[in-house]
Amino acid sequence: MSGILRGVALLAVSALVLTIETAILRAIAGEASVAVITFARSLAQLALGAALVAALGRGWAGARANRPGLQLVRGLASLVSWWLYYFSFRVIEFAVATTLNFTTALMVAALAGTVMRERVGRARWAATLAGFAGVLLVVRPGGGGDLVGIAAGIGSAVCGVVIVFSNRALGLADRTQTTMLWVGIVTTLGTLGPALATGGWPTGAGLALLALAVTLGAFGLWLILEGFRVGEASALAPVPYLRLVYAVPIGWLWFGELPDALTLAGIAVIAASAALLAISEARRPARAEAPR
């Protein structure tokens, strides 16, 4: 297989793996609290980041951050984003919660001109506005469920904007592996106290499923890194949006949720707009960005 085909295959599998991860976490929501789930996800991130830094073969030097303050901000953004993300999956439709997570791309495109001084052309603005129109279809009254859950999903996407912009700044100062490790450190320290204080730890099969889910999450993240390593970013940019395609049948078969026609239309519009923006972004000068 060519590099592009290998990259497509790896990212397509990662999209399925990450969708299954969130489905498992939703399935055990009655046993595991959001604090415990976020802490478990943080531990998996810490393990993956440590493994990536160790693979550099530079010892502790690979973990040293040149901009520790920005690494702290980036880690805290991940912590809040994950917390809101996992909460949203507990109270709104599976496909809708998945879709809201991808509105980060629309927000980044809308703010890129102001924050990063990037030129935002007409085509980019058109895709962004179309995507926000899709959001209105999804979050309309009766479209996706609990308004608090929808707000949490959008809040997670807003934190994703902070992550994207901090990634761009960190890409000029630190290795992706270093950032991955720092995210694991900050999120683990930030979630340990709440996880111990609030309880909600699963037992037996629930604990095994939690361990499986966060392992799948770490594995899915590794697949993303490997996919973009072997393939061209411009060709691979739309592939992660397969998660939106996977989310609808998984939500229907696993949880008995089938979005109505307007919600499905909104999901399709958001997916198409975000994929076009991803292709446009990938064709810009390359930047080192760590996945969320």
User: Given this model, what pLDDT does residue 82 score?
Assistant: 95
Three-state DSSP string of the chain: CCHHHHHHHHHHHHHHHHHHHHHHHHHCCCCCCHHHHHHHHHHHHHHHHHHHHHHCCCHHHHHCCCCHHHHHHHHHHHHHHHHHHHHHHHHECHHHHHHHHCCHHHHHHHHHHHHCCCCCCHHHHHHHHHHHHHHHHHHCCCCCECHHHHHHHHHHHHHHHHHHHHHHHHCCCCCHHHHHHHHHHHHHHHHHHHHHHHCCCCCCHHHHHHHHHHHHHHHHHHHHHHHHHHCCHHHHCCHHHHHHHHHHHHHHHHHCCCCCHHHHHHHHHHHHHHHHHHHHHHCCCCCCCCCC
pLDDT at 238: 75
The confidence score (pLDDT) of residue 288 equals 46
Binned at pLDDT 50, 70 and 90, residue 165 comes out as confident
Total-model pTM: 0.85
Span 150-164, pLDDT tens digits: 899 999 999 988 998
Which pLDDT score, from 0 to 100, does residue 1 have? 57
* Mean pLDDT calculated for residue range 75-94: 93
pLDDT computed for residue 285 by the predictor: 52
Residue 194's pLDDT band, with cuts at 50, 70 and 90, is very high
**The pair of three-digit structure tokens given for residue 43, joined into one six-digit string:** 């531990």
CA distances (Å), 23 to each of 1, 44, 111, 138, 256, in order?
31, 17, 31, 20, 12
**Tens-digit pLDDT profile for residues 211-241:** 999 999 999 988 888 887 787 766 676 788 8
Spans of all domains in the chain: 3-282
Q: What is the mean pLDDT of residues 30-36?
A: 92
The answer to whether 42 and 79 are in contact (CB under 8 A) is: yes
| pLDDT tens sequence across 98-133 | 888 888 877 877 777 666 566 666 767 777 788 888
Does pLDDT of 87 surpass 90?
yes
Of the candidates 145, 167, 184, 158, the one whose C-alpha atom is nearest the C-alpha of residue 80 is 158
pLDDT at 125: 74
Closest CA to 43 of 215, 292, 290, 224: 215
- Cβ atoms of 27 and 90 closer than 8 Å: no
What is the rounded CA–CA span in Å between residue 220 and residue 43? Answer: 15
